[in-house]
Chain A
C-alpha cells in the first residue's frame, strides 16, 4: 500500500515540475519555443528510434552537408563538431552520435536568415559516426564523419 502511495506522490511531483516549467515558459513571451522537447527522440536508446522520432528514417545521403569533427577525440566528453549544410532552404539540423547510449544529441531549427551552420561540442560514448540530419523543403538529408574516441564521455 505504502509503495503505491509513494509512486502516486512521485508521479504528482513530477507533473508539478513540468507544469511549472511550462508556466515559466509562457510567462516569458520573448522566448517562443516553436516545438516542445522531442521526448521520444531524446529518450530513444537506439539509432533507428531516434531517427524515426525526428522523421528522418528515410534520409538520403547528401554531399552538400559537411560534418567537421576530429578524427580522434582523446576525450569523448568534449568533441567539437561543426556542421555546415549548403542544402538550399535548410530548416533544421540534427546531430546524432550513432553509438551513444542516447543517440539523439540535439536538433536546431533555423529561421529568419540563420544559415545552415552549427558549431558545438558533444559527448561521445564510443568510437562511431557523428551523423548530421538536415531537413529542407520537406525532405531529409544526412551525412556523417567517424570519430575515434579513446576515453568515453557518457559516464562509462
Chain B
C-alpha cells in the first residue's frame, strides 16, 4: 500500500527547502463509515524523519490530525547542491516508506 512519495529539495542561498508529499489515508480512528456505521480504525503515520547529507535534521511525531495524503515542508540551513535528502515514515500498523531526492 505504501506508494512512493514525492520529494523536492530546492536551494535558496544556503538554505534547502524540502517539500514532501506522502500517500496515506490518515484515519483518525474517530470517523464512522457512512455505509456500515462502524468506526473506521485509526490508521495514520506516527513518526516521520528527514535526513540531509547523512545527518538527521528532523524527527516528527504525528497524530491523526494531519490531513490525508500529508504535505510537509521544512527548511534546513547549510545545505548544498547534490546533498541527499531521505524522508521516512512509519504508521501505527507498522507500515513504512522511504523516499529520496537530491538538493537541486
Contact = CB atoms under 8 A, between A and B. Distances in A.
A78 B66 contact: no
A114 B94 contact: no
B90 A35 contact: no
B68 interface: yes
Contact of B28 (A30, A37, A102, A118): A102
Contacts of A122: 65-67
A101 B62 contact: no
A142 to B, nearest CB: 17
Contacts of B74: 108, 110, 114-115, 117-119
A21 B76 contact: no
A17 interface: yes
Contacts of A34: 59
B54 to A, nearest CB: 9
Interface residues of A, number: 47
A31 B72 contact: no
A123 B79 CA distance: 32
Interface string A51-82: 00000000000000000000000000111100
Contact of B15 (A25, A35, A115): A115
A104 B90 contact: no
Interface in B61-82: 61-68, 70-79
A106 B65 contact: yes
Contacts of B75: 114-115, 117
Contact of B77 (A25, A28, A115): A115
**Contact-residue size bin, chain B (C-beta under 8 Å from the other chain):** 35 or more
Contact of A77 (B32, B67, B98): B67
Contacts of A97: 65
Contacts of A111: 56-59
A107 interface: yes
Nearest to A103: B65
Given A31-B49, A34-B59, A35-B59, A106 B90 contact: no
Given A77-B68, A122-B67, A155-B40, 17 more contacts: A17-B93, A17-B94, A24-B90, A33-B47, A37-B47, A42-B61, A78-B67, A105-B65, A105-B66, A110-B58, A112-B55, A113-B52, A114-B50, A119-B74, A120-B70, A122-B65, A154-B31
Interface of A: 17, 20-21, 24-25, 28, 30-35, 37-38, 42, 77-80, 95, 97, 100-115, 117-123, 153-155
